[in-house]
């Protein structure tokens, strides 16, 4: 048991150190996220009056910005060189079709689910349970897209499922530690919202750090005026740091099994 704990702690230490190095080299991703958020707000205001056509346009813009964000995170995690502003422009278009494809595959069952739940008296509870399942099983989908060779959206879903089954303790433990003091209701609420986008909705990328920061600053008893300002300022860099940490943790877990990590710990 001690060896397992030591191997897990060493795993997180390595991911944290790698995240710090990546953020120092690639802090510009936080600026890109702010820029992308502004573009997403603009696209939302333009698409809102257009009905179904507006929904397709918004979906395309979302895929464009999520794909660009994943491309920047991929570069930051790889850590080949220090990021420059031109890299932000160069990321536009990356992983666009991957995000579109996965979003389409998930859109149909989610649409049917939402319609079916409206006529079921237990609909809200069932929908929350299913979205929680999506949140768990598809949680590493963003990392699968830019780190694992795949040929179709179904490959991404399969790889995400297999990764979670193999590494669910190590993958979700950091989130559990951060969320635990805030209670189970907070976790179920946030996972229900995030599960609907499988981590590939741009605004949802910011929802988790925004909600966590707001909850923790409120938990610490800071005045509302102070905490609101801090949340707005800290959300983009915290979101980027979380994505980088997920990338490094995924790379470490996907490249080894729990038995291999335990054996490596015994030989140190």
Residue 149 has pLDDT above 70, yes or no: yes
Q: List, as one string, the DSSP characters of 77-109.
A: HHT-S---HHHHHHHTTTTHHHHHHHHHHHHHH
CA distance 18 to 244: 9
pLDDT tens for 106-144 read 877 777 766 666 666 666 667 777 777 888 888 999 999
Dihedral class, residue 257 (left if φ above 0, else alpha if ψ from -120 to 50, else beta): beta
Residue 66 has pLDDT above 90, yes or no: yes
Q: Closest Cα partner for 61 from 30, 106, 92?
A: 92
CA distance 16 to 55: 38
Give the pTM.
0.88
- Asked whether the beta carbons of 237 and 15 are under 8 A apart, the reply is no
pLDDT tens for 228-237 read 888 889 999 9
Lowest mean pLDDT of 2-11, 33-42, 54-63, 172-181, name the range.
Answer: 2-11
Supply the pLDDT for residue 185: 62
What average pLDDT does the structure give for the chain? 84
Which ranges of the chain does DSSP label H, i.e. alpha helix? 2-26, 28-47, 51-78, 85-91, 96-117, 123-137, 141-147, 153-179, 184-195, 202-219, 224-254, 258-267
Which residues, at least 6 apart from 211, have a Cβ–Cβ distance to it below 8 Å? 186, 190
Supply the pLDDT for residue 119: 66
- Asked whether the beta carbons of 28 and 83 are under 8 A apart, the reply is yes
What residue spans define the domains of the chain?
2-267
Task: Report residue 262 CA to chain centroid gap.
Answer: 27
pLDDT tens for 90-110 read 999 999 999 999 988 887 777
CA distance 77 to 15: 10
Q: How far apart are the first and last CA of the chain?
A: 16
């Amino acid at each position: 048991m001690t060896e397992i704990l030591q191997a897990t702690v060493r795993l997180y230490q390595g991911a944290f150190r790698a995240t710090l190095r990546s953020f120092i080299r690639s802090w510009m991703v936080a600026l890109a996220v702010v820029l992308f958020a502004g573009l997403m707000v603009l696209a939302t205001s333009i698409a809102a009056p257009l009905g179904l056509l507006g929904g397709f346009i918004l979906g395309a813009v979302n895929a464009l910005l999520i794909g660009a964000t994943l491309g920047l995170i991929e570069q930051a995690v790889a850590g080949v060189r220090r990021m420059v502003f031109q890299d932000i422009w160069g990321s536009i278009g990356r992983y666009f079709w991957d995000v579109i494809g996965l979003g389409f595959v998930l859109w149909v069952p989610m649409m049917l689910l939402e319609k079916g739940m409206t006529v079921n008296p237990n609909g809200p509870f069932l929908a929350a349970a299913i979205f929680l399942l999506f949140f768990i099983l598809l949680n590493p989908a963003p990392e699968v897209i830019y780190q694992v060779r795949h040929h179709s959206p179904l490959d991404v879903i399969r790889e995400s499922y297999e990764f979670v089954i193999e590494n669910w303790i190590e993958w979700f433990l950091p989130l559990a530690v951060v969320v635990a003091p805030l209670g189970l209701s907070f976790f179920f609420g946030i996972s229900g919202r995030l599960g609907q986008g499988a981590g590939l909705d741009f605004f949802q990328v910011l929802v988790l750090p925004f909600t966590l920061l707001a909850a923790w600053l409120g938990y610490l008893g800071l005045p509302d005026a102070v905490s609101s300002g801090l949340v707005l300022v800290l959300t983009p860099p915290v979101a980027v740091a979380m994505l980088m940490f997920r990338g490094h943790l995924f790379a470490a877990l996907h490249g080894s099994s729990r038995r291999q990590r335990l054996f490596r710990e015994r030989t140190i």
